[in-house]
Amino acid sequence: QLSSRITGLLGGGSDGWGVFLRARQMIEQGTQVTELTIGEHDIRTAAPILQDMHRAALAGHTGYAAIPGTTGLRDAVAARLQERTGVPTTRDNVLITPGGQSALFAAHMATCNPGDTALYIDPYYATYPGTIRGVSALPHAIAARAEDAFQPRADVIAAAAKQTNAASLLVNSPNNPTGVVYSRKTLEGIAQVCRDHDMWLISDEVYDTQVWEGAHLSPRALDGMAEHTLVVGSMSKSHAMTGSRCGWIVGPVDAIEHLTNLATHTTYGVPGYIQDAALFALNQGTGFETEIAAPFQRRRLLAQDILARQNAVSLVPAQGAMYLMLDVRSTGMSGEDFAYALLEKHHIAVMPGESFGTAAAGHIRVAMTIEDTRFAQALATVCDFAES
């Protein structure tokens, strides 16, 4: 018999991938589907990064790599965080992980005892509740409401922290699925709750290089928060390296020491040639990051133009990441019904807001991951469909 930890990972509910799977099925049956569901770039890892990976592999960096990560990459990640937060950060504050997802799992493993409550914000990235259940903690969602522009409220988080005696709070800014970047006020409020309740903050910053308005602020930068925060980062989104599985956790030295022990007993590190290529990419400054973020910024402006010409769909004001959240409540349909109907009628696949919890019901999430002209056409069709 399998453990309830693994069989109960999805919490008994649907995992929200129904529309995505239906789209895949249609594609397999030969239907042309415009795929706007998942967060996979339409551009691939840049050739110079791949050339460096090739160089490193040929140089023999194919054996076991140092489990916490190579000193070069840990130094580079530390320098990056220090530059962004002003908090002194060294390689001892950094563990390299196989992508952000495994970092999220490890961060919850490090902060939650079995049965502890782990808070997270709804709408949320699809894996969050399962990640929390996977470490035998109890997921507890806190709604960030459309009326509050999807900024979570510190008083609501404080009440939940008090009621559940939560061990951790997971936040994600820039946010998937909403694209909202948390304001300084929101983050200051959250930091206060974490300090008051002696609660860990797990800050998922995998979209930190994709901010269109204002600037990304890491809560690690806030007063007294370096000791309370585990920052999760990744090369996946910033450098279009989703398949290379290279991310990190930045946190207090003793937490990183324990997390390194965990890595020894789980992942056993990240391939050396991947880490070398990641270091090469980070050493090139912001060139790759800007190039990768530019199409999303451009498509957001395109979307604003298209949406300004109609009234059935409204765009959630957002400042970053690679998605649009569209409010389709005026149609009277749920996001899920809307997404299924759009797929069947127009062969356009989007994610229902309900896939990300309850707070984004009546919305759909559109990944801005296809070429501009097709993207604009698809959005215009979404609007016509909503109007009809």
> By the 8 A CB rule, do 22 and 348 touch?
no
CB of 20 to ligand PLP, least distance (A): 13
Strands 323-327, 363-367: pairing is antiparallel
> By the 8 A CB rule, do 127 and 104 touch?
yes
User: Which residue stretch of 99-107, 251-259, 349-357, 358-366 sits at the interface with ligand PLP (rule: CB under 6 A)?
Assistant: 99-107
State the amino acid at position 280 in one-letter form.
Answer: F
357 touching ligand PLP, by CB under 6 A: no
User: Which residue stretch of 94-102, 105-113, 184-192, 331-339 sits at the interface with ligand PLP (rule: CB under 6 A)?
Assistant: 94-102
CB of 13 to ligand PLP, least distance (A): 20
CB of 314 to ligand PLP, least distance (A): 23
**How far apart, in whole angstroms, are the C-alpha atoms of residue 383 and residue 270?**
44
334 touching ligand PLP, by CB under 6 A: no
Rg of the chain (C-alpha set): 21
189 touching ligand PLP, by CB under 6 A: no
125 touching ligand PLP, by CB under 6 A: yes
Size of the site for ligand PLP (CB under 6 A): 13
Q: What mask, x for binding ligand PLP by CB under 6 A, covers residues 196 to 215? A: --------x-x---------
User: Which residue stretch of 15-23, 98-106, 179-187, 308-316 sits at the interface with ligand PLP (rule: CB under 6 A)?
Assistant: 98-106
**How far apart, in whole angstroms, are the C-alpha atoms of residue 339 and residue 346?**
10
Helix or strand run (H / E) with residue 35: strand 34-35
**How far apart, in whole angstroms, are the C-alpha atoms of residue 96 and residue 66?**
10
Sheet bearing 229-234, strands edge to edge: 94-97, 247-250, 229-234, 200-204, 168-172, 117-122, 138-143
Q: What mask, x for binding ligand PLP by CB under 6 A, covers residues 17 to 56? A: ----------------------x-----------------
Tokens 């989007």 belong to residue: 350
Q: Output 39 or 179, the one with its CB closest to ligand PLP.
A: 39
Q: How far is CA 26 from CA 20, 22, 89, in A?
A: 10, 6, 49
User: Which residue stretch of 54-62, 84-92, 96-104, 152-160 sits at the interface with ligand PLP (rule: CB under 6 A)?
Assistant: 96-104
CB of 135 to ligand PLP, least distance (A): 16
172 touching ligand PLP, by CB under 6 A: yes
Distance of alpha carbon 114 from the chain centroid? 24
Q: What mask, x for binding ligand PLP by CB under 6 A, covers residues 217 to 256? A: -----------------x-x-----x----x---------
Q: Which residues of 359-378 are buried (b: 16+ CB within 10 A; e: fewer)?
A: bbbbbbbbbbbbeeeebbeb
Q: How far is CA 110 from CA 74, 103, 200, 251, 305, in A?
A: 20, 10, 10, 11, 45
Q: Output 37 or 176, the one with its CB closest to ligand PLP.
A: 176
Q: Output 187 or 312, the one with its CB closest to ligand PLP.
A: 187
Is the link from the previous residue into 177 a cis peptide, with omega within 30 of 0? yes
CB of 124 to ligand PLP, least distance (A): 8
CB of 40 to ligand PLP, least distance (A): 8
324 half-sphere exposure, CB direction, 13 A CA radius: 28
Residue from the set 68, 99, 251, 269 that interacts with ligand PLP by CB under 6 A:
99
Q: Would you tell me which residues interact with ligand PLP (CB under 6 A)?
A: 39, 99-101, 125, 172, 176, 204, 206, 234, 236, 242, 247
